[in-house]
Structure 1
């Protein structure tokens, strides 16, 4: 990073993402958007190292190292120290562990920011931009008289759900956890048009620990000056407009998306040549992609059922098949050395020329390929935005976090996806705790794939939303305008 160029900027922002691959990637992308939009801004990203044995730690490390090796004008990276005896991941209280681990870095942030403010000729710090898991950093920013902004890496409907759950927690005297035991119950949440059934409320937030996390994090969120949401007005009109009815004490909501990492699109890496070459030989919109995110995987019995469904569907396919590492490692997924150990006998031989089973997938590059006509997805928000950007309809198979609500929004609220499941879930933090609770049948999977590839109404809606997603970030688009307002506020903080 050219320190002279940093010194010539007017306003500096301090970004603190959570140590999750999707969180970090989205954070870096919005940082690029901001500095490319206004030459007066510079950004320092304080990187929290992932704990060994937690999630895709090596993938995060490799990604950050790839960034620091590039010359990124007016963006620099500083890795925060880690305590000598960091806490061990606790699969029985994952949200508490994540929140405590992120906020254990407050002291290091305080030291670094203090040094930054002493540097002569540097831009004045206009704001902290933090992840929802790092709300303890708000207190650090306040010590320096610096306003804080939240970068909410999910969508506006889920932000509204979180606010609703906090209200439920605060206002109901009865046991709020017990309310979720009624599987037929529905909740009227202002950020959703339709009543939300209990079955799509994320399992983590049906526990006291999950509700306690929501309550504490959103209490801190109200101290922020603004909330940047990775969405756009045309996709979530109702949800975004629902925030206008909140009292003046709630931070301003800025839709800034879609914020996407498309760096790998258009170039073929050596390890991806085989799959991309195979796709080049297929007809447009004839191949279904199955990919379940950085932590998505299945037990052997479910893998075999998926394989049978793919054979029965008759559709061409690319399947990103990954395995769970247990050994007390949370959210840790890797590739099979040989997928035959879990696939039905002879499956790979019977599907030669029809499908490809791969490990880790270059998802954005695959979705951009003209041959991909449908996406069976876990409905992680980054994946949803990528699919809509490239005009590929989705079939929903949510797994953890807020993915069930995302699936409900896509199928019921907007009609941009077909359903395989809305309420599938497993304990991603502790897969050995009861294993998968449901086996999705071959009939359900086959039916979902057929609907995905044949439903012209959904396909048409997705193509139109693709056009709108691209227009939102172009000059004069809804997110372009929203980002302009946000930059003006950053600059006003130091005027």
Structure 2
């Protein structure tokens, strides 16, 4: 057993990143922290060149004991994409085991150190077998929340127990999911294509994870204590080490300038407390044109101040004259400093797709949400926001209409229900900050994670 102040001097950790969506960045963030805490351990970070190029590798933020390696994306030379959803992911996953093995062997030769731990995205269920072959430990990072992790862990039980035709049925036979309905679960669990490469991967992952030396997630114990207790009974080690956004901001100097190219924060300083609607649907998803129009019309008719992060290519979908007419009311920008906006006192509501990172950043800022989920775990997260934590509401009828959006804005920003949401969000914010404080639950769990990564198989 190795501890923070006594790292194993010859240990070598292979970090395997999933190069799609927002998976690689948080794994890199955790790797940086582990490398700083154990400076004589080598961390080899494996990711596709395209994903690596999208990550930030400034020399002052990347410890000298982290080495970045490119792995093939699995696309055969001359391959022509057919346009099927998830095609790039399928090609990558099919080739990933062999490609990772090849690059790990090369890194071992270059460093003169055998890998003692595979630290991977949890998607890589095959890392269990790889670790056994290499006589290394396997530590898995689930980048989303405990609700979606539980669905994948109990997929077989859900398929056996849930009546798929009754989409309103709750999953009360799973601890912590008493208010979650069948229709809230991810595609490929009980509906959709159960045999797709991605669905099969997640199913295999759920079966493999109990064999991991440790499973850790970007959350904090106090957010879902029932899940924490239950998942601890399922895994050898189950560790909440977040919210990562709070840890990242805490590690930055007060003098570090915030990247805010469009002046969002300066504009926010002129707004009233808890008055502004911040709107963003992440880096992957954009609502269809009709819903973009409905959002714009709802904002304009409600007169609610707003900051809307919207890709430039989608701004042409906005109603004619909208930008000019609302110039004093709000701003539409191609990118916004989300974490900073969500902790600003002027922000009153976050209109979101409910990706896990966004939800956790809103919780960390104490900001209620209006949820418009699209796919994957977003429905689960939206349901938790509305029915479990009671810190927001799902958009009326599941899609944006002008009147529906106006009612939601009024419900959160003005009505008594909104005041209750704000109070609940504030309590969770305090618990999140406590978790990442000295001797907080997430700080203590990070120490246990470092111990797990430093462990060697005898």
Please list every run of at least 4 consecutive aligned residues from structure 1 whose deviation after the TM superposition is greater than 6 angstroms. none
Aligned-partner SS, 1:187: coil
Partner of 2:352: 377
For residue 212 of structure 2, the aligned residue among 221, 224, 246 is 224
Partner of 2:449: 486
User: What's the offset of the Cα at 1:199?
Assistant: 2.5
Provide closer, same or farther for how the CA distance between residues 290 and 30 of structure 1 changes in structure 2, counting only shifts above 3 A: same
Aligned-partner SS, 1:157: helix
User: What's the offset of the Cα at 1:150?
Assistant: 1.1
For residue 356 of structure 1, the aligned residue among 331, 338, 344 is 331
For residue 209 of structure 1, the aligned residue among 189, 195, 210 is 195
User: What's the offset of the Cα at 1:108?
Assistant: 3.1
Stretch of structure 1 that moved more, 391-400 or 97-106: 97-106
Provide closer, same or farther for how the CA distance between residues 16 and 264 of structure 1 changes in structure 2, counting only shifts above 3 A: farther
Q: How many angstroms apart in 2 are the aligned matches of 1:200 and 1:238?
A: 19
User: What's the offset of the Cα at 1:97?
Assistant: 5.8
Provide closer, same or farther for how the CA distance between residues 413 and 270 of structure 1 changes in structure 2, counting only shifts above 3 A: closer
User: What's the offset of the Cα at 1:140?
Assistant: 2.6
Aligned-partner SS, 1:138: helix
Matched, 1:257 2:242: yes
Provide closer, same or farther for how the CA distance between residues 155 and 104 of structure 1 changes in structure 2, counting only shifts above 3 A: same
Partner of 2:361: 386
Partner of 2:3: none
Partner of 1:20: 20
Matched, 1:464 2:450: no
Any unmatched runs of 5+ in structure 1? Answer: 1-6, 51-59, 323-334, 425-438
Partner of 1:280: 269
Matches within 5 A, 1:402-481: 402-420=377-395, 424=398, 439-454=399-414, 455-481=418-444
Q: How many angstroms apart in 1 are the aligned matches of 2:313 and 2:107?
A: 45
Q: What is the CA deviation profile of residues 405-462 of structure 1, one whole-angstrom value per residue up to 9, with x for unaligned ones?
A: 01111211111223325x84xxxxxxxxxxxxxx432222111112222322211221
Q: Is the 8 A contact 1:320 1:360 kept in 2?
A: yes
User: What's the offset of the Cα at 1:114?
Assistant: 2.4
Provide closer, same or farther for how the CA distance between residues 312 and 128 of structure 1 changes in structure 2, counting only shifts above 3 A: same
Q: What is the CA deviation profile of residues 325-366 of structure 1, one whole-angstrom value per residue up to 9, with x for unaligned ones?
A: xxxxxxxxxx328x2x32222222221211111123322232
Matches within 5 A, 1:73-152: 73-83=64-74, 85=76, 92=84, 94=86, 98-118=89-109, 122=113, 125-152=115-142
Q: How many angstroms apart in 2 are the aligned matches of 1:103 and 1:298?
A: 31
Partner of 2:4: none
Q: How many angstroms apart in 2 are the aligned matches of 1:193 and 1:80?
A: 38
**Cα root mean square deviation, aligned:** 2.9
Q: Is the 8 A contact 2:74 2:91 kept in 1?
A: no
Provide closer, same or farther for how the CA distance between residues 189 and 450 of structure 1 changes in structure 2, counting only shifts above 3 A: farther
Matches within 5 A, 1:151-230: 151-169=141-159, 171=160, 179-205=163-189, 206-207=191-192, 208-209=194-195, 211-230=199-218
Q: Is the 8 A contact 2:219 2:242 kept in 1?
A: yes
Aligned-partner SS, 1:180: coil
User: What's the offset of the Cα at 1:121?
Assistant: 6.5
Q: Is the 8 A contact 1:103 1:135 kept in 2?
A: no
Q: Is the 8 A contact 1:132 1:217 kept in 2?
A: yes
Q: Is the 8 A contact 1:166 1:218 kept in 2?
A: no
Matches within 5 A, 1:266-277: 267-269=257-259, 271-273=261-263, 275-277=264-266
Any unmatched runs of 5+ in structure 2? Answer: 1-6
Q: Is the 8 A contact 2:42 2:65 kept in 1?
A: yes
Provide closer, same or farther for how the CA distance between residues 194 and 312 of structure 1 changes in structure 2, counting only shifts above 3 A: farther
Q: How many angstroms apart in 2 are the aligned matches of 1:347 and 1:354?
A: 11
Provide closer, same or farther for how the CA distance between residues 460 and 38 of structure 1 changes in structure 2, counting only shifts above 3 A: farther
Provide closer, same or farther for how the CA distance between residues 28 and 301 of structure 1 changes in structure 2, counting only shifts above 3 A: same
Q: Is the 8 A contact 1:389 1:466 kept in 2?
A: yes
Stretch of structure 1 that moved more, 106-115 or 224-233: 106-115
Q: How many angstroms apart in 2 are the aligned matches of 1:90 and 1:462?
A: 44
Provide closer, same or farther for how the CA distance between residues 91 and 121 of structure 1 changes in structure 2, counting only shifts above 3 A: closer
Aligned-partner SS, 1:374: strand
